[in-house]
Structure 1
């Protein structure tokens, strides 16, 4: 892969998404998939697979040092179990729409980005009691479908986790663990059922060191701003990317 302007932009999206996710526990897939797709830097199918692979790197670095011990196991399993079958359905939809209705795929991704960013911007403060098992199950179904299609499992579970009466460390560890597990499942399923081309493999190789370094820097040298400000920055970027994709898909 020749390092040109498109490749540099890809690296910037990888770095930005990895840094924000390592700081807040989410947003890597949303930022990379929406940004790369909006600018037409790579096909959605290729980008989504690369995001799944690189999410493993980001989450692995973020969970180093015993951070995984902070995981909210009730939330983790409540999301993962109903998520599994929906991942496979989402992957099938991505393959079908990618071959037959790319504009519809862009429109669906764009609308999901807009709705996700607006809802997350307006979400209420933490609740005083944990959410119900059914709430996590619904989140798992929605997240599995979005994740299977776009490698963006985050919005449903992130919205729910940030409403829990948990510490920031527990929320972050739970989200990173979920993204590691879902990324592993998605990569395994696609690798077993589809052939991977050289462009996909090169994109993963290109992003590997960037994602690992950005996640490490986020842990070692976090920006002197609050998590609330960081989340608002991420939501704003997602909103702009979603609007652009919606416009492209509906045009």
Structure 2
């Protein structure tokens, strides 16, 4: 149980500090500890819980204009994604997305920055792609993180706006687990045991994010994108 608590706490600390990334930290190890049938719904609890606390504290930092455009276009992309999944293997698409994340993160760490996205219309495009990937392979996060990184927001706006998008989508995923019967008594007990530590990690992550210089925060985001990309490439190439 101690190892489980440490993994969950660290995963939420990453999410609350950077705005994303808890699944990358938690899923591989929790799958080994408690099995995928319990790890997946448990990790599904982490996102909405973390987002709720962050949004209650920082709702004024959310870029609402971006969020509703991202959500609307994602909903439009989901049906296409459901059709796409029948045509292209998930491994190929996820590995390609991982390679793109690797290149994007590496480029921004070692070379001059990519152009800043100014127009609000970009949100529709990135959200639509997120919906396609979410409908097909449950990987709607990377395009939204791409978009947020290219907007060059402050750390507070970056974190809060991501939660504005991930909260409703994460809630839908959690509801889906409930309808599928995945929220068993064991999963709920695990969540109950970890909840105090989850809340502690959310507040600790908020404290950390306000003390990390903006340039360092940006480099952390790109570094973590490289890790996510590497995980997707390796996981889908084995």
For the superposition of Structure 1 and Structure 2, which TM-score range results when normalised by the shorter chain?
0.7 to 0.9
Q: 1:131 aligns with which of 114, 119, 122?
A: 119
Q: Identify unmatched segments of 5+ residues in structure 2.
A: none
CA shift for structure 1 position 216: 1.2
Length-normalised TM-score, structure 1? 0.71
Q: Identify unmatched segments of 5+ residues in structure 1.
A: 97-103
CA shift for structure 1 position 57: 1.1
CA shift for structure 1 position 58: 1.0
CA shift for structure 1 position 83: 1.6
1:69-148 matches, within 5 Å, as 69-84=60-75, 86=77, 109-123=94-108, 125=113, 127=115, 130-133=118-121, 135-148=122-135
Q: Distance in 1 between matches of 2:182 and 2:83?
A: 15
**CA contact 2:41–2:182 (8 Å) conserved in 1:** no
Q: Does 1:25 align with 2:15?
A: no
Aligned to 1:42: 35
Aligned-residue CA RMSD (Å):
3.8
**CA contact 1:86–1:141 (8 Å) conserved in 2:** yes
Deviates more, 1:12-21 or 1:172-181: 12-21
Q: Distance in 1 between matches of 2:20 and 2:69?
A: 18
**3-state SS, counterpart of residue 68 of structure 2:** helix
**CA contact 2:78–2:131 (8 Å) conserved in 1:** yes
CA shift for structure 1 position 238: 1.9
Q: Does 1:238 align with 2:228?
A: yes
Q: Does 1:68 align with 2:56?
A: no
Q: 2:172 aligns with which of 185, 192, 195?
A: 185
Across the two proteins, how many residue pairs are aligned to each other?
231
Q: Distance in 1 between matches of 2:34 and 2:192?
A: 16
From the superposition, tell whether residues 246 and 148 of structure 1 become closer, same or farther in structure 2 (CA, over 3 Å). same
Q: Distance in 1 between matches of 2:79 and 2:190?
A: 23
Instruction: For residues 16-56 of structure 1, give each alpha carbon's deviation from its aligned partner in whole angstroms, at most 9, with x where no partner exists.
Output: 332222122222234434x348868632x654433332111
Length-normalised TM-score, structure 2? 0.74
Q: Distance in 1 between matches of 2:47 and 2:151?
A: 23
